[in-house]
Structure 1
């Protein structure tokens, strides 16, 4: 077995899929005998954030360290890389792994001036979401090209992210590897729907990018086999909630859509029989993986890395932003549950073989060792 490593995971705000990935990776690496520390933003420290970090602390033997990381370019960007470099040297770090645009920025800038550590970078959407037409987008893309010489490897969570990065920024001059996000064994335990479960369940942020307005329109004409209107339960909150509630009222869906507020994904899946993820854009969404692993039929859109998750069932993906197509897909699953079950099982077999936490961790750990071996 290779020697244990001292690893610093660097990210900005511990929220969403990026944090889920870093938390899973931290726990798995610690279980494999490595010493792991985290660098996070001191500016994002609400109660929910602190609770998540507190849960992770027992697995972070090198501690959790906070520095100012402004969301857009700001004063903290001139100081924090030097503070991270000082921390890395004091902790005798072998591997700096930056996650997201800012995390990748700091992890690689911290290597200025030398040192034994190597830097890896996982975009997680991050820089891929910056438009070329915006000033911040142009600056981040320029920084990406400049920092390539200080990057030991770029880890992409999907082939989609790899292709998008190359199109926006140019083909990386350092090694790259696609390593999909993975799920823990207990996430593949079948989820049994509650007796009064809704027909459909949505888990995600209530914002335009998640396709919630398209979902409401799609639901209008969807009916069960007995002719009664189908219903939907939704877990999540976000900036578009007020506007979405107004749309629900306007469409007369008040009795058919239940908003639960922010809730954990897996328990919420028991509140519905069919998962719907109508996103307009994604990278490699955990919610699609989680719903499929819980053995729910999943209706979702042909965006980002979702076709990689769907594998042999990708033909059932619907165009994003198309309420008619989404409604037809929802109606189709209600009309033919046996076909939906067969498709779910085919998708489950694909995910079990390619999207496990063990496969993800082994791939990243091997890449760390390979980059260190190259010096």
Structure 2
């Protein structure tokens, strides 16, 4: 079964890093010297609009406008992205990956189709098979008749090397040791396979943008011609809006918090528990400095502005909830060091000598709920 019969050929052909998308780019035979021509002007404008929508609205970007040669427009959008701040690279890749995986998910929400998922994976150079195929491989190796029963609720399997390249970083739920490994494959649930596809798209987009970035001299004339508009687009990015902040966290923060902040600054995607830990720690530290919780919310937002998926409205609401300004009005405390260590979020393996990160705050000797 090919992409045509699966109904996803239109989707995958819109991305220049898929097999279908690459074929379109090769057929068009883009010449750098032609990008400034009147023929390419509509496509360049489409690329700029696409870039602006992805930066401003992330995964909620409306990309259903009528465009000509979508894969070519996306290719040019990536060229323009390569000339911008690297945090923009991550924003674009993160947005593209979520949009792509959501489209795949919507296509098979009520009727998962193994062959179609495999075809999407092949477009991204992933090797994904069904658990039935894994079962047959094991049975054949053990000279058994029929198939070996596979644990539920796993439906798919991905080769271990593709898993290592495309599993979410710093998320304890994706640590290799927590996953069933059978015959060189990692078993996946339906939800897992969508996440692997999402991560693969993000990696593909970042890789393509990076390669284009190393050859920007070829596109200098094009970039210079739209430079003013690019600057305006970059300024519209939520995380860039806060770049002027120079607040430096005081010395003495716990290693787990420092590691989460460094990951965010590097454009990473910390797990939910890592973000919870950072937000609650910073709120308590800010209050310990004598400030009102309402004042502290803006301070806590700053490190999160570096995240690729940063959304000010959503993040502000979540921080206000943790500060006890919304919902049940509970002022949340960071998880215990024991819990953080069990989740792989303690860089020192319980070597800090405290029971809760909050005890690093000057003057905090005992905190309710921090045992």
The TM-score with structure 1 as length reference comes to 0.30
The TM-score with structure 2 as length reference comes to 0.30
